[in-house]
Amino acid sequence: MKKTPLKVILFVAFVDLVGFGLIIPLLPVYAKRMDASGLTLGMLIGVYSLMQLVFNPLLGRWSDRVGRRRVLLISVGGSVISHLVLGFADISVSLPLLFLARILDGITGANVATAQAYIADVTTAENRAKGMGLFGAAFGVGFVVGPAIGAGLAWLGTQVSGQQYGTSWPAFGAAAIALIAFVLVWRLLPESRERKATSGARSGFLGLRHIGTALASPRLREVFVIVFYAVFAFVLLEVTFVYLCIDTFAISATGTGLIFAYIGVLMVIVQGGLVHPLARRFGEPLLVSIGPFITATGFLLLSTVPSAATVPMAWTLLLVACVPVALGQGLTTPNANALISRLAGEDRQGVTLGLSQGIGSLARAIAPPVGGYLYDRGAPLPYWIGAAMLVAVGCFALYFRSAQQRELTRLAESAPTDEPR
């Protein structure tokens, strides 16, 4: 792997999740100040995923045409602008500006697929899972660091500027971090592939032919199904976990943020240290099959937390349950991305990974109201349903594992032997 470009791409991933962690806990604060209803808050969260659903494949395909670096510069620069708009929306108490910021952030947040395609460009097929695992680990570190930075900036801003202006500090902090990423991409990141204008011209900006080709592949369709339901099940946990902690332990949002940080640390360990050796030993198809079963075990343990006999027992169940959740998700996500990358053609990395991200965004747009509805009818329900979905996904993945492995072998045998990476 090429070290310096990979480090820059990992920093871009880190910045994405730092920005996410900075902003998401404060969205309810911003919305409440603007007298927004719960439905409006849900729309603010959903419009971000909707924009990612639309723009992930488009930016991914565009990066196949004009190069990764150019798309990354535009998208990271757009993140700077979206965070600035968010800060000014809070200062001016403007709900339309708040929506504009979320829309822009959803569009520019679609640089994830381009960053994953860059990793695919600079890694060999054998190291692909390692690269995707490091990418996921960078996400995990950002998930840990983001809320902590946001809380610190909000506290400092309130002390210096008062309540009216202090809560905008995290948004401006996220803009500053994104600006650093922009400079690093501009100065240190070389282009990872040659521009292929002729192919892109035939396909058009939308790359519909390439999207159709990806969807026509049975092996890729199988992995897309796994991605959708694995993400859907995990989002059932994400949207209800805070309520589960508050209702069970009566702790603050800060306390639940620390628990999320604990999960993030576990995922960093798994994706940064375990994914590559396990993928080399067992192969991506098997790990993608096993991961959902491990995650389902954690979901079932979480479902018992509300009915624990004592508070210490509930804490024990919660902390223990987080381990299989992080382990299973840490195995599933990077190996699924590596599998998609290896099954896609070399000229379709961006659009195929973008399509995968878009499918994940669709799950993230649908799952939150479902999770909230289930939780309102019983705290264990989201975890029971999520566990059932994960078991079904694991069985589905196991059924097609051999066919996927045969396809990987065929592609490896037909690949050029003078791979330049």
Is position 420 within any domain?
Answer: no
Which range, 87-91, 127-131, 298-302, has the best average confidence (pLDDT)? 298-302
- In a domain, residue 228? The reply is yes
Residue, of 175 and 22, whose pLDDT is higher: 175
Q: What is the pLDDT of residues 218-246, one digit of tens each?
A: 888 888 999 999 999 998 887 788 678 87
Average pLDDT over residues 42-68: 76
Confidence of residue 194 (pLDDT cuts 50, 70, 90): low
Q: In the predicted model, is pLDDT for residue 150 greater than 70?
A: yes
How would you class 222 by CB atoms within 10 Å of its CB: exposed for 0-12, middle for 13-18, buried for 19 or more? Answer: buried
pLDDT tens string 79-101: 899 999 998 988 888 889 989 99
Between 106 and 32, name the one with better pLDDT. 106
Segment 385-401 mean pLDDT: 94
Domain span at 310: 3-186+205-414
Judged against a pLDDT cut of 80, whether residue 52 lies above it is answered with: no
d(CA 191, CA 78): 19
Whether 146 is covered by a domain: the verdict is yes
**What CATH number is associated with residue 124?**
1.20.1250.20
Tell me which of 135-139, 333-337, 376-380 is least confident.
135-139
Count how many residues are written for the chain.
421
How confident is the model at residue 202, as a pLDDT? 46
Q: What is the pTM of this model?
A: 0.70
Q: Output the average pLDDT for the chain.
A: 79
**Site of tokens 């905008």:** 168
Residues 6+ apart with CB under 8 A from 259: 241, 245, 318, 322
Please tell me which residue, 178 or 215, carries the higher pLDDT value.
178
Query: What digits encode the pLDDT tens for the residues 4-19?
Result: 677 777 877 777 777 7
Identify the band that residue 401 occupies on the pLDDT scale cut at 50, 70 and 90: confident
pLDDT at residue 324 above 70? yes
**Which of 77-81, 111-115, 237-241, 291-295 ranks highest by mean pLDDT?**
291-295
Task: Flag whether 251 is in a domain.
Answer: yes
- Is 410's pLDDT higher than 70? yes
In a domain, 195, yes or no: no
For residues 168-197, give the mean pLDDT: 80
Residue-level pLDDT at 37: 63
Residue 236, phi then psi, degrees to nearest 5? -55, -35
Does residue 148 belong to any structural domain of this protein?
yes
Per-residue pLDDT at 251: 67
Q: For 360-377, write each residue's pLDDT tens digit.
A: 878 888 887 788 788 888
In this prediction, residues 183-205 reach a mean pLDDT of 63
pLDDT at res. 349: 66
Look at residue 229 in the predicted model and tell me its pLDDT.
Answer: 93
Phi, psi dihedral angles at 167 (to 5 degrees): -70, -10
> At 125, is the pLDDT very low, low, confident or very high (cuts 50, 70, 90)?
low
What is the Cα–Cα distance from 194 to 63, expressed in whole angstroms? 11
The total of structural domains in the chain comes to 1
Instruction: Give the residue with greater pLDDT, 69 vs 27.
Output: 69
Q: Which residues of 14-25 are buried (b: 16+ CB within 10 A; e: fewer)?
A: bbbbbbbbbbeb
Please state the separation of Cα 366 from the chain's center in Å. Answer: 15
> Is 160 domain-assigned?
yes
